[in-house]
Structure 1
Amino acid sequence: MELMFWVDIRFHARDVFTPVTSKLAAELIGIWWALQCLQDLHIENLELWSELSSAVEAINNPIKWPLYRSLLDHIHSLLNGFHSHKVLLALPKANSIARDIAKSVTRDGRLRSYLSIGGPAWLHHRIPEESWG
């Protein structure tokens, strides 16, 4: 799971999670982790984008997803700590940088967790290009 802030890159983080049985569970665990990081960084306003429509639906309508109740309760508890928040669906094309980072983690065995200032150096040229258009 990668956490990126677009337009003016302020922080970049990576973490590794244990295997889970579904894509939805993996996405929700990643969102939970991202929200914890954002609270630790004292971010007050949040737009959370996911290209997994079931994750967006589960967060926006948790009553319809009883199997994930505990995880969704944790996510909503964290969301309530932000001054404002939105959970939105991203088009896969709009998420290409995050996908490329995730592929590099798997391909290159980047299993060390970290949080740093700025985006990953090997993607610096792509971040402004994709944010403009």
Structure 2
Amino acid sequence: MASLKLSKVVFAGQFKEEFEAVMKPMDWPLYAFQSGEISKALLAVKDAQLLVVSRNSNRGASLIATSVTRENRHQSYVASGPPCWLFELFVNESRFL
């Protein structure tokens, strides 16, 4: 994220245990190395947050990840452009916020 020159980033996902290992490393000693590496990477971003969300709350991101593997979209959506269904998905989701 730092290489993209982003100063405020929210990492959201269903990663409760993983995020806890980063936020409370003393409670997760087996993951000390991994959580330390993630913590170092987060320091490069001025305002980084880790947010645990449910699968339903993160439906758009889940569908994007699925489409990467199913549709062989190994190029970034930024580089190759999003699929046509993506814009409509987020418009529809935003109506329920």
Shift of residue 113, structure 1, vs aligned partner: 4.0
Name the structure 2 match of 1:66: 29
Shift of residue 54, structure 1, vs aligned partner: 1.0
Matches within 5 A, 1:37-76: 38-76=1-39
Shift of residue 89, structure 1, vs aligned partner: 1.0
- The code of the aligned residue for 1:44 comes to S
Higher relative contact order (CA 8 A, sep 6+): 1
**Alignment identity in percent?**
25
C-alpha RMSD over aligned residues: 2.3
Q: What are structure 1's unaligned runs of at least 5 residues?
A: 1-37
The 3 A distance-change label for structure 1 pair 118 and 86 is farther
> In 1, Cα distance between the equivalents of 2:81 and 2:26?
36
The 3 A distance-change label for structure 1 pair 74 and 127 is same
1:18-67 C-alpha deviation (Å, 9 max, x unpaired): xxxxxxxxxxxxxxxxxxxx111100012211112112211211222222
Shift of residue 75, structure 1, vs aligned partner: 0.9
Name the structure 1 match of 2:62: 99
CA contact (8 A) 1:48 1:85 kept: yes
Name the structure 2 match of 1:24: none
Secondary structure at the residue paired with 2:56?
helix
Q: 1:85 aligns with which of 40, 45, 48?
A: 48
Which structure carries more strand by proportion? Answer: 1
- Give the number of aligned pairs: 95
TM-score by length of 1: 0.60
Which structure carries more helix by proportion? Answer: 2
The 3 A distance-change label for structure 1 pair 107 and 39 is same
Q: What are structure 2's unaligned runs of at least 5 residues?
A: none
- The code of the aligned residue for 1:57 comes to E
In our comparison, the structure showing a higher alpha carbon Rg is 2
